[in-house]
Each structure stands twice: as C-alpha cells, then as structure tokens.
C-alpha cells in the first residue's frame, strides 16, 4: 500500500493533495473524452477512483465525471468484505451534493475526524471499514450499481 501522511497543520498532507489533484486530472480528461464520444456512452457519471487506507485513517474518493451537479440523496456506498454501508441520506436530511467535475472524500477509521469543514469531506465512522482486500460499490436510489472499486491482493 502507498504511504500517506495525514499530520500537517491543514489536516491534509501533500500526498493526499496530490491524490486529489490526480483525481481532478482524471475528471478533466474524462470530461473531454465524454464530450467527444457518442451520446450512448457507457461511462459512469460518478466513479470511485481510489480508496486510501493508511494506518488508522481511510478515505474513499468519489468523482463527479459530469459537467452537472449530482445530488447523492438516496445513494449508498457498500463495503463488500464486512457488509458496511454508508447512506448519503434521504431527501429530507440529505445535504450531499457533488458539484460538476469535483471530488468528494468519505472518511472512516479511528484516525479520522468526525468534523470536516468542507462539503467535499464527509465523515462516515471512526471505526475501520476497509479490509486489506475489499470492494467498494456505489449504488443509486434505484438500486443500480454506478461504480465499483477493488483493491488489495488478488486471490
């Protein structure tokens, strides 16, 4: 696994910043390809691009690949190994909107904070969620799988 340092004074390390910049680069390249591709493209609107699991802090990066904001109300993120689920919320209490061409970070683990000052940083739990080999699945309100991300050693 890659090493990430979460201990700088701003709450994020250079390597997490670099990961976010990489994700944004992926967004811009993908949006250019989507613009040039046919209307029936199968590319997802939302994509899980990375799970960072370092020490006691875990971060899932979800990217809005479109030029439109996406309301995540009713979406869920499922972790396969232990069946843990993050529910982005129902319509009445949901405030999870991801702007166009943006990255949202979902935090978990005992080293994570329960408070984040940014719309793009959502606290999940202070318990560990992700196993050494695992799969994340993003599901829309209709039950359709939008994106999956596997990591760790393959069997």
Model confidence at 3, pLDDT cuts 50, 70, 90, reads very low
Inside any domain, residue 7 = no
Nearest CA to 123 among 114, 110, 132? 114
Inside any domain, residue 6 = no
CA distances from 1 to 49, 80, 151 (A): 15, 19, 10
Inside any domain, residue 8 = no
R_g (Cα) of the chain, nearest Å? 15
CA distances from 13 to 4, 22, 109, 116, 152 (A): 7, 14, 17, 15, 23
pLDDT exceeds cutoff 50 at 14: yes
**What's the mean pLDDT in 137-153?**
91
Question: In terms of C-beta density within 10 A (0-12 exposed, 13-18 middle, 19 or more buried), how is residue 40 classed?
Answer: exposed
Q: Are 59 and 52 in contact (CB under 8 A)?
A: yes
Inside any domain, residue 1 = no
Number of separate domains in the chain: 1
- Name the 3-class secondary structure at 118: coil
28-63 pLDDT, tens digit per residue, is 665 555 444 333 334 578 999 999 988 889 999 999
Whole-number pLDDT of residue 20: 67
152 in the Ramachandran plot: left (φ > 0), alpha (ψ -120 to 50) or beta?
left
How far is the C-alpha of 50 from the C-alpha of 23, rounded, in Å? 9
Task: Return the CATH number at 135.
Answer: 2.60.40.1260
Model confidence at 19, pLDDT cuts 50, 70, 90, reads low
CA distances from 78 to 21, 31, 71, 124, 146 (A): 25, 26, 18, 12, 12
70-121 pLDDT, tens digit per residue, is 999 999 999 999 999 999 987 666 778 899 999 999 999 988 887 777 888 8
Range of the domain at 41: 14-151
Q: Are 141 and 75 in contact (CB under 8 A)?
A: yes
Nearest CA to 151 among 77, 81, 64? 81
Q: Which two tokens stand for residue 28?
A: 């811009």
């Amino acid at each position: 696994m890659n090493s990430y340092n979460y201990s700088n004074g701003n709450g994020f390390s250079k390597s997490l910043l670099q990961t976010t910049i990489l994700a944004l680069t992926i967004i811009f390249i993908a949006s250019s390809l989507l613009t040039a591709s046919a209307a029936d493209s199968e590319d997802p609107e939302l994509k899980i691009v990375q799970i960072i699991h370092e020490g006691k802090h875990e971060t899932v990066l979800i990217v809005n690949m479109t030029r439109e904001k996406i309301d995540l109300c009713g979406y869920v993120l499922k972790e396969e190994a232990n069946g843990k689920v993050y529910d982005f919320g129902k319509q009445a209490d949901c405030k999870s909107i991801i702007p166009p061409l943006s990255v949202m970070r979902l935090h978990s683990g005992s080293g994570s904070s329960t408070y984040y000052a940014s719309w793009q940083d959502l606290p999940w739990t202070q318990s560990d969620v992700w196993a050494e080999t695992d799969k994340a699945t993003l599901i829309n309100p209709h039950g359709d799988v939008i994106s999956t991300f596997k990591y760790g050693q393959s069997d």
